Structure formats: structure tokens, C-alpha cells
Amino acid sequence: MATILEMRDITKTFPGVKALDRVNLQVAEGEIHALVGENGAGKSTLMKVLSGVYPHGSYTGDIVYDGEVQAFGSIRDSESRGIIIIHQELALIPLLSVAENIFLGNERARGGIIDWQETERRAAELLARVGLKESPKSIVADLGLGKQQLIEIAKALSKDVRLLILDEPTSSLNEQDSEKLLVLLTEFRRQGVTSILISHKLNEISRVADTITVLRDGATVARLDCKNGISEDDIIRDMVGRSLDDRYPPRTPDIRDEVAMEVRNWTVRHPVDPDRTVVRDVSFHVKRGEVLGIAGLMGAGRTELAMSLFGRSYGRDITGSVTINGKPADLSTVRKAINAGLAYATEDRKTYGLVLDDTIRRNVPLARLESVADGMVVNARREAEVAERFRQRLNIRSSSIEQETVNLSGGNQQKVVLSKWLFADPDILILDEPCRGIDVGAKFEIYTVIRDLAAAGKAIIVISSEMPELLGISDRLYVMNEGRFVGEMQTAEASQEKIMARIIKSGEAA
Amino acid sequence: MSDVSDQTAAETGRHQAGASWRFLKNHMREYGILFALIAIMAFFQVATGGILLKPVNLTNLVLQNSYIVIMAIGMLLVIVAGHIDLSVGSVLGFIGALAAVMIVNWDMHYLVAGVLCLIVGALIGAAQGFWVAYFRIPSFIVTLAGMLVFKGLTLWLLAGQSVGPFPPQFQLMSSGFLPDLLAMDGFNLMSFLIGLTVAAGLTLLALRNRAVQSRTGTPEEPFAFFAAKVAIIFIGISWMSWLMADFRGLPNVFIVMALLIAVYSFVTSRTTVGRRLYAIGGNEKAAALSGINAKRLTFLTFANMGMLAALAGLVFAARLNTATPKAGAGFELDVIAAVFIGGASMAGGVGTVVGAVIGAFIMGVMNNGMSILGIGIDYQQVIKGLVLLAAVIFDVMNKKKG
């Protein structure tokens, strides 16, 4: 088979981070090529390089497509050569019709006037090709996620796709829709369309893929041929196979025999779509002085669990009970949750964590403003002292406490968020992806803070998609998948293989 | 010896001047608006041949703009919270009509009627804030509806007629002056002394803050800049009160305005409530996740706006000495323009009470100055519109640079 795409020695750096380090990818014409790796391994970055989101010149290495070296300057360039990428977050306009979406930016028009008959006729053809029985006039928002995914594919087909890239296409689909999609991919293979499939669902990959490329830490670590069958265990080993070196501060756990928080039968439904259960019957506990990890893939329901606990900031029809320090706790509003001794540091610091236009001084005391105020009046001196104290304690690199947080780097923004919650002085601190998108040095500093807090008798819950991180800093961990806790293990006995196996087994059982 | 000290003195002077200039350039966003007001006043003072700052005209300027300033204070809070209130002009008219009906038609005591009007205003604001805060209906829509509703209710209440006149005590609210207990002929000494006291008080406050800053760390402002700023404010206030004392003294409504400015400035910049208001405007989600009751605060902000609109309505009715069905039409635009000229951000989370007040006076001085010059109302609108646009462009460019 001819090679349609070869990416040679692709290296892409962001300030302070090497996202891709001499990555190689070879895709044969007409195959389904799977790209796997942990979150942060560089899969999406590689695809953005390929599709021109990161234009030629912002990376080093060559992209050879169709036998020629390409220099894509934008998505438009790559699309004109038949390379179409479908992102995990679908890019459809919800209130437009199916046909309008399919031809968005590529309208069937003459002299700027849309030919609706042609548009609908062509749309109907494309819908038939992807096996979707819907009128081209239906409004996209009225259709389920599975159907929306198919519309994205129809849109790709309308642009005469030759290389179709799907980023986690089945992560938000149910079993039936996923199955349909996979069948469609094999149908495309018969028609000669090449696909690159990015997925965490190894059972799906081992079924449909012809070749698998495994990425780890921004480098290609394996290229597996699936002709003779391949086991999921092999893929997992390549995905996670690395040693835990001393990227974590040394620590002797001092776990008190007091349960700080216990959650029983916690169930949360989706805020907009009450038929979807996002967190299903979750029970767990955490002790004082303990660092508890919650592992799982993106979309497992971990953030939703944490935010629903923290003042019901997510979801509806929440049921279940919580006790804190042995007493039933009322967590019905954020204020009550804070007063009960709970704190939640968000995974999305820009949207949920910081008032970006405000200074460090004004952000740090926000969750417990009354303790820097005399009555109603904020005491500027005490406020500044508090901010300065945390700036030094967490080593927030900034010109002064008067710097606006929007101008800080990710790691330092994260430290401001942490400062805010440390100042609120909680007994139980939930940290959601505390080290996402920050550099190694800042990570170490944050791990050190977590360690010190645990040593001081706080209960820490760390949610992370990076398994090495959880194995490096937690004492005990739960595995979450599709809204349920599917495993509990002592970290000493845990391994990435075991965690992955739990996730995959539970996915197959469902 | 003296040569050397002279040299160092000259050097510190240069150094201070340079530092002050740099500071000013970095903080153009905050001080630019004040300079704009001074420049506009200077321009019209010259262009009108000195009429602008004649005691009688200055007093008029304050009286003409008092209700805009009062509403701009409330609007600043609404805009900082990330919302808008288009109904304030109609509410002003409605409350004026309500006061006229109660006082003139029903012979109610003017104080009772006044208090009732403020309560009704707060309830109107609360009713609108309720939908905005708890049901997330966009404030633009809710208050647009309110604008129509209260315009209609004003017409209904007055049955399309003007109602007046008010009893003289009621009129005093906006046409009265501070009595001169020191009874001097032709000069209201007490008003001048009050002005001097306020100016001295502000200076002392600034000095004290500076001292605290010096103790806890280095003060942000270079000394020369600080000194110049304090001196300008001191001289400015003293001079204005001198001028007004030379006519009939400080107007009652000026005192009301000054108190409101002081109180709301304090609330927004120094209290926990103020801090939380800026936080919900800056990032409502982050504020809510920090335990701030964003809904209640938004609700109260609208209730407060309604009350201030009612107060402005009373002042306006007292000034005209009659309630007319047309009162307040279009005022919301002047108020909103004042707040944006004053440096507030459409997105919320940014803006100051003092900025909004200065913005209101920029509009007021331009209205007044252009009227004196006999510029037609047509050109006046065009020029005011361009000034609003220029002020916001300036603000956005400065933000990008910083």
C-alpha cells in the first residue's frame, strides 16, 4: 500500500514546554490508523500541526503528503488538500439546520446567493452516505450527539475528504452510536478514504485499526501492526511504560484514624438533560492527613462529582449524603460548603478560578473576605499582608501583589487559586487537575504544598488524568469511569496498567 | 558645597519629574478622564469668554446635572456587575409623576410622599433585578421592557397633563441653597468654609494613606506626582466653593450629591460588598465558586439603582416645579454614556464612582458650554456622540497597551 502521509521528526515547542519531540507518523493510503497515548502525550498537538492550526514554520520537521512536502499555513490550506479534522468538541452551529451546517463556509451559491435546492439535494446525498435518516432541514440542536457526530462527518465528505482525522469521536457517544460510527469508518476504508482515529477506547481500536502509533510524553514510542491481532495489554504497556523518577517530593504519610469526609450514594444528573446520569451512586471517604486520588479519563464524571459536592455547583436532582468530621454536612450552597470546611480548586482556572482583570491582592482573600475586613470595611493593610504572605509561601513569580492575574503564567495563576483556598483554611481540599498545563518546576512546588497540607492534618482529594502524578503523590486512589467508581486501591499496590485495566474492563461491561 | 547640593537638588527634581511622567503614562486610564474634564472646562472657559465659570453659571451647571450624576452613581454599580439598566429615564419620570399626584392632587405631606417615592423606586428596581438575577433574563431586555412600562404608566398617572406646582418646601430640595448662618452680605461664607473643610479633609486623608503606604512598603505614586495631585484637588474644590459662595452658596442638591459620591465611593472601593460586586462583574463563575452570593448582590444592585432613579426623579420634579409626561425621556442614554466615558467596561468588573461622576460632568460641561456658544442642538448631539466614542476608544487602546 502506498504511503499517503508521513510526518518526519516533528518537533513543536511552547514557551517552557517541548510538546512534541521528533515525532514520526506514517499512514498508509486507505487504512484506519489509530493514534493512542495518555492525556498530554501530544496527540492533539500533532494533529494541529498536521491540519495547519500551528502553521508551517512554528514547528520543525517535514510533513509529506501525497508524495510532496507540504507547508500548510492554515486549516484552509490543509482542507483544500482533503485533510479534514473533526474535533472532540463538535464545531456545529446548534440553531442552524443540518444542511446549513454541512455547507457552512462552503455554501452552494451562485454570486453570493444560496441555491437552497442544490444545498438540500447534496445534503440529503451526504446524509445517506453516512447512514443518517434525518431531514436536511432539521435543526442541529434537536439531534443527539451521535447524530451530530455523523453530521460532522457528512460535512467532511462534502469537502472531498481524503484523510479524515477523528479526535475522540466516541468519547461522548453511547454504545449503539459508537458502533454505528465504527461501522461507518470501515465502510470508508472500503471506499478508499484514509482515517486517523484518536481514541482512549482500546477495545474499539483493536477492532478496527490496521496500524497503531503510540505517543508518550511527546515522542513516538511504538508502531504496532494489527494484522496478526493485538492485545489491549500490549497497547497499555507502551502507553504508560515509564518509570516514576523523583519528580515528586519525598513524603512519609501520616494518616490519622479520623474520617474527614464521607460521601454516600452520591448521584447527579446532567443539568440540561436530566435523562443522563453523570455521577452514579458514588460512595467514598477520605481521612485526615490522607492524599486521596481519583483517577479516570476525561469525561469520567470526576469534575462533575467534585462540583456537585461543592455547593451543588453542577447538576440537578442530586441525591446522597455527606458527613464531615462525623456530622451530617449541609453543602447546599458554596458558602455553606466553605463554612463546613470544604474547598474546591477548579481545573479551569481562567473560567472558574480567577477574576483575571483583578490583582493578586484582590484574588487571594476572595473566598474569605470577611477575615481581612473590619465589619464591612476591607482592611487594605491586612489584605496586602495576606496576599504578600501567600505570594512568598507559594513562590508566586510576579512583580508584586498588584500584578493582574491575567498576566501571570499558568503555574503562577494556579498558585493564586491555591492561595485563595489555603486562605479559606478548609479541612478538606479538592484539587481538580492541579497541575494541568504547567511546567515541571511549578508542578514540584505544588506537590510540595499538597504534601505539607496533608502533614498538617488536612484531607486532600486530587483529581487527575495523569496517572503517574496520582501514583506519585496519593496514598490511596479510586478509579472512576462513566460516572461510577469502578475500583479502589492502595497506591502502593497500584500501577498504571491496573488502573487502565479497571477503566477498560468497566467500559466493556457496560 | 552649595554647588553640589544645588546639583543634587536639580537631579532629584529631574528624577521626580521623570518618574511622575512615567507614572502618569502608565496610569493614563485612571487619570486621563480627569485631564479630559479639565481640558474641556478650560476650552469652554476661553471660548465662552469666561462665562462658563461665572458663579451663576457654575451653580446652574451643578443643578442641571445633579439628577444625571445621582443616576450615574447607581448605573456604575449596575455596569460593574456586568449589567445595564435602560429604564432609569422612565422611572425618573414615573416617580416625578407619582410625587406630583401624591403631593399636589392628594395633599400628602411632601416628606411622607418623598419617602414613599424612594420605596416605590427601590421596589421597581427590585422587580427588574429579580428577573435578571434569579431567572437570568438579560438585563437589556428586562429594563427595555421596564422603560416602556414606566413611560406608559407616567402618561396614565398624569392623564397626559402636567401636574404642578409643588409646595415651596418641596422645591427647596433642588432650588434651595445652604443657609448662611454667618450672614455676610453677598457672600455665603459658610458654604465656602464647608468647601474648604472638605478640601482640607480630603488632603489629610490622602496624606494619611500615603503615610500608611510608606510604612508598609513603597508608595506607588512618585512624590512629585502625589503632591501635584493633592494640590490640584485642594485648589480645585476650594476655588469651586469660592465661586459658588459668591453667588448664593452651595445648593442643597449639591450636598446630597456630594454625600452620595462619598458614600458610594467608599462602598465600592473599601467594603466587602464593593469588592464582591467587582468580582461578580469580573468573573461571575469564579465569584460564585468563591462563596459569593452573586444572585442576591445583582438583585440588590438593581434595587439600589431604582432607589437612586427615584431620588433623581424627585430632584428633577422639584427643579421643574411640575411633573410632565415627557420627563426623563432619553436620560438613560446620558447616564450610561457618563459611566462609559468615566472608564467603566461594558464587560463588567471595571469602573469607579468618581470616574462616572467626572463622566457626567464632562457631558454636562459640554452641554452647557455649547449652549452658551449658541451651537445648535443638532451639532451638540453629534459632538457628544463623538466624544463618547473617542473616550471608549481611548480606554480600549490604553488597555491593550497595558
Question: Does any CB of chain B come closer than 8 Å to the CB of residue A380?
Answer: yes
Question: Per-residue pLDDT for A199 more than 90?
Answer: no
Same-domain status, A485 and A497:
yes
State the amino acid at position B37 in one-letter form.
L
pLDDT tens per residue across span A451-496: 999 999 999 999 988 888 899 899 999 999 989 999 999 998 988 8
CA angle, B75 then B77 then B78, to 5°: 60
- The DSSP H or E segment spanning A377 is strand A377-378
Dihedral pair phi/psi, residue B300, rounded to 5°: -65, -35
Say how far apart CA A21 and CA A11 lie, in whole Å: 5
Question: Per-residue pLDDT for A42 more than 90?
Answer: no
- The DSSP H or E segment spanning B384 is helix B377-401
Q: What is the pLDDT of residue B398?
A: 74
Least confident residue range of A93-107, A279-293, A421-435? A93-107
> What's the burial of A198, exposed, middle or buried (CB within 10 Å: 0-12/13-18/19+)?
buried
Same-domain status, A31 and A71:
yes
Decide if A366 and B292 are in contact by the 8 Å CB cutoff. yes
Same-domain status, A144 and A236:
yes
Farthest-apart Cα atoms in chain A, separation:
77
Spell out the residues 6+ positions from residue B301 whose beta carbon is closer than 8 angstroms to its own.
Answer: B77, B78, B81, B83, B129, B277
Decide if A381 and B212 are in contact by the 8 Å CB cutoff. yes
CA angle, B383 then B389 then B394, to 5°: 120
Helices (H), A26-70: 43-51
The domain tally of chain A equals: 3
CB atoms within 10 A of CB B19: 15
Same-domain status, A156 and A260:
no
Task: Give the closest of B270, B286, B291 to A377, CB-based.
Answer: B270
Residues in chain B: 402
Last residue of a domain, one of A186, A211, A240: A240
Same-domain status, A42 and A129:
yes
Q: Which residues of B touch A351 (CB under 8 A)?
A: 283, 285-286
Which single residue is written with the C-alpha cell 479497571? A502
pLDDT tens per residue across span B141-154: 999 999 999 999 99
The ipTM value here is 0.79
Same-domain status, A198 and A116:
yes
Question: B194: which 3 cell numbers?
Answer: 464647608
Say how far apart CA B282 and CA A164 lie, in whole Å: 41
Full strand arrangement of the beta sheet holding A83-86: A83-86, A163-167, A194-198, A32-36, A211-216, A219-225
Same-domain status, A285 and A150:
no
Distance from the Cα of B72 to chain A's closest Cα (Å) equals 23
Q: Spell out, as residue ranges, where chain B has pLDDT lower than 70.
A: 1-10, 29, 183-184, 216-219, 400-402
- The DSSP H or E segment spanning A32 is strand A32-36
Dihedral pair phi/psi, residue A68, rounded to 5°: -125, 150
Q: What is the pLDDT of residue B6?
A: 62
Q: Which is nearest to A293 in space by CA: A304, A279, A306, A278?
A: A306
Q: Which is nearest to A83 in space by CA: A93, A98, A72, A92?
A: A72
Q: Which residues of A touch B274 (CB under 8 A)?
A: 378
What are A14's strand-pairing partners?
A17
Same-domain status, A79 and A191:
yes
Say how far apart CA A1 and CA B269 lie, in whole Å: 70
Q: What is the pLDDT of residue A508?
A: 63
A459: left (phi over 0), alpha (psi -120 to 50) or beta: beta
Q: Which residues of A touch B217 (CB under 8 A)?
A: 384
Q: What is the pLDDT of residue A445?
A: 87
Decide if B271 and A373 are in contact by the 8 Å CB cutoff. yes
Decide if A373 and B286 are in contact by the 8 Å CB cutoff. no
Residues in chain A: 510
Give the nearest chain A residue to B216 (CA atoms).
A381
pLDDT tens per residue across span A116-139: 999 999 999 999 988 888 899 989
Q: What is the DSSP string of A277-298?
A: EEEEEEEEEEETT-EEEEE--T
State the amino acid at position A391 in one-letter form.
R
Q: Are A64 and A43 in contact (CB under 8 A)?
A: no
A322-328 contact pairs (CB < 8 A, 24+): A322/A261, A322/A262, A322/A263, A322/A264, A322/A266, A323/A259, A323/A261, A323/A262, A324/A260, A324/A261, A324/A427, A324/A428, A325/A258, A325/A259, A325/A260, A325/A261, A325/A427, A326/A259
Same-domain status, A157 and A230:
yes
Residue B165 DSSP code: P
Residue A351 DSSP code: I
B172: helix, coil or strand?
Answer: helix
Spell out the residues 6+ positions from residue A215 whose beta carbon is closer than 8 angstroms to its own.
Answer: A23, A35, A36, A37, A41, A42, A43, A46, A221
Domain presence at residue A310 = yes
Domain presence at residue A196 = yes
Q: Which residues of B touch A352 (CB under 8 A)?
A: 285-286, 289
Say how far apart CA B352 and CA B29 lie, in whole Å: 12
Interface of B with A (CB under 8 A): 212, 216-217, 220, 270-276, 278-279, 282-283, 285-293, 349-350
Same-domain status, A86 and A45:
yes
Q: Which is nearest to B77 in space by CA: B395, B396, B352?
A: B352
Q: Would you state the CATH architecture of domain B30-176+261-401? A: Orthogonal Bundle (1.10)
Question: A449: which 3 cell numbers?
Answer: 504544598
Q: Determine the straight-line distance between the first and last CA of chain B, rounded to whole angstroms.
A: 44
Q: Which residues of B touch A366 (CB under 8 A)?
A: 275, 279, 287, 290, 292
Say how far apart CA A474 and CA A414 lie, in whole Å: 19
Which single residue is written with the C-alpha cell 504572605? A389
Same-domain status, A152 and A282:
no
Distance from the Cα of B138 to chain A's closest Cα (Å) equals 19
pLDDT tens per residue across span A215-264: 888 889 888 888 777 777 778 777 766 544 567 888 888 889 899 999 99
Spell out the residues 6+ positions from residue A345 whose beta carbon is closer than 8 angstroms to its own.
Answer: A353, A417, A418, A420, A421, A429, A430, A431, A432, A434
Distance from the Cα of B22 to chain A's closest Cα (Å) equals 17
Question: B45: which 3 cell numbers?
Answer: 472657559
Q: Are A477 and A468 in contact (CB under 8 A)?
A: no
Decide if A310 and B220 are in contact by the 8 Å CB cutoff. no
CATH assignment of the domain containing A265: 3.40.50.300
Question: Per-residue pLDDT for A307 more than 90?
Answer: yes
Give the nearest chain B residue to A362 (CA atoms).
B275
Section A317-329 average pLDDT: 92
Q: Are B190 and B249 in contact (CB under 8 A)?
A: yes
- Interface A–B counts its CB contacts (< 8 A) at 80
Give the nearest chain A residue to B399 (CA atoms).
A357
Spell out the residues 6+ positions from residue A76 whose beta carbon is closer than 8 angstroms to its own.
Answer: A52
Residue B167 DSSP code: P
List the domain range (segments joined by +) for residue A405: 355-425
Question: Does any CB of chain B come closer than 8 Å to the CB of residue A422?
Answer: no
Q: Which is nearest to B390 in space by CA: B350, B339, B333, B341?
A: B341
What are A111's strand-pairing partners?
none
Q: Which residues of A touch B290 (CB under 8 A)?
A: 334, 366-367, 420
Section A301-318 average pLDDT: 91
Spell out the residues 6+ positions from residue A423 whose beta carbon is closer than 8 angstroms to its own.
Answer: A364, A365, A367, A368, A386, A390
A159: helix, coil or strand?
Answer: coil
Domain presence at residue A474 = yes
Last residue of a domain, one of A376, A400, A425: A425
Q: Are A397 and A428 in contact (CB under 8 A)?
A: no
Domain presence at residue A124 = yes
Same-domain status, A136 and A83:
yes
B386-395 contact pairs (CB < 8 A, 24+): B387/B341, B387/B362, B387/B363, B388/B337, B388/B340, B388/B341, B391/B33, B391/B36, B391/B340, B391/B341, B391/B359, B391/B362, B392/B340, B392/B341, B394/B32, B395/B29, B395/B343, B395/B345
Domain presence at residue A349 = no
Question: How far is C-alpha B43 from the geometric centre of its chain's CA atoms?
Answer: 22
Last residue of a domain, one of A425, A450, A473: A425
Specify the higher pLDDT residue, A91 or A421. Answer: A421
Distance from the Cα of B226 to chain A's closest Cα (Å) equals 19
Distance from the Cα of B274 to chain A's closest Cα (Å) equals 9
CB atoms within 10 A of CB A93: 12
